[in-house]
Amino acid sequence: MDLRIRPRRNRRTGALRALAQETRLVPDQLILPLFVVPGERREEPVAAMPGVVRLSPDLLAVRAEKLAVRAVLVFGVPDRGGKDATGSTAVRDDALVPAAVRALRRARPELAIITDVCLCAYTDHGHCGALGASGAIDNDRTLGLLARMAEVHAAAGADLVAPSAMADGQVRAIRERLDGSGFAETGIVSYAAKFASAFYGPFREAAGSRPAFGDRRAYQLPPANRREAVRDALLDEAEGAEWLMVKPALPYLDVISDLRAASRLPVAAYQVSGEYAMLKHAAAAGALDERSAAMESLLAIRRAGADAIVTYYAEEAGQWLDR
Ligand code: PBG
Mean pLDDT of the chain: 95
**Confidence grade of residue 17 (pLDDT, cut at 50, 70, 90):** very high
According to DSSP, the β-strands at 160-163 and 187-194 are parallel
The domain 23-322: what is its CATH number? Answer: 3.20.20.70
Per-residue pLDDT at 94 exceeds 80: no
Per-residue pLDDT at 213 exceeds 90: no
pTM listed for this prediction: 0.96
- Give the pLDDT confidence of 24-82 residue by residue, as tens digits: 999 999 999 999 999 999 999 999 999 999 999 999 999 999 998 999 999 999 998 88
What pLDDT score does 234 carry? 97
Domain ranges of the chain: 23-322
The amino acid occupying position 42 is R
- Give the pLDDT confidence of 137-162 residue by residue, as tens digits: 889 999 999 999 999 999 999 999 99
pLDDT above 70 covers a percentage of the chain that reads 100
CA of 314 to the centre of ligand 1 (A): 17
**Confidence grade of residue 134 (pLDDT, cut at 50, 70, 90):** confident
**Residues whose CB falls within 8 Å of the CB of residue 171, separated by 6 or more in sequence, listed in order:** 163, 188, 190, 236, 239, 240, 241
Task: Assess contact for 123 and 146: CB atoms under 8 A.
Answer: no
What pLDDT score does 131 carry? 86
Q: Ligand 1 pocket test: which of 125, 209, 273, 280 has the largest number of ligand atoms within 8 Å of its C-beta?
A: 209
What pLDDT score does 127 carry? 87
What gap in Å lies between CA 72 and CA 131, rounded to an integer? 30
**Confidence grade of residue 91 (pLDDT, cut at 50, 70, 90):** confident
Total residues found in the chain within this entry: 323
Distance in angstroms between the alpha carbons of the first and the last residue of the chain:
42
Does 280 participate in catalysis according to the annotation?
Answer: no
- Other CB atoms within a 10 A radius of the CB of residue 139 amount to 18
DSSP 8-state secondary structure symbol assigned to residue 231: H
**Coil, strand or helix: which one is 65?**
helix
Question: What average pLDDT score do residues 81-108 get?
Answer: 90
Does 83 participate in catalysis according to the annotation?
Answer: no
Q: Ligand 1 pocket test: which of 116, 117, 164, 270 has the largest number of ligand atoms within 8 Å of its C-beta?
A: 164
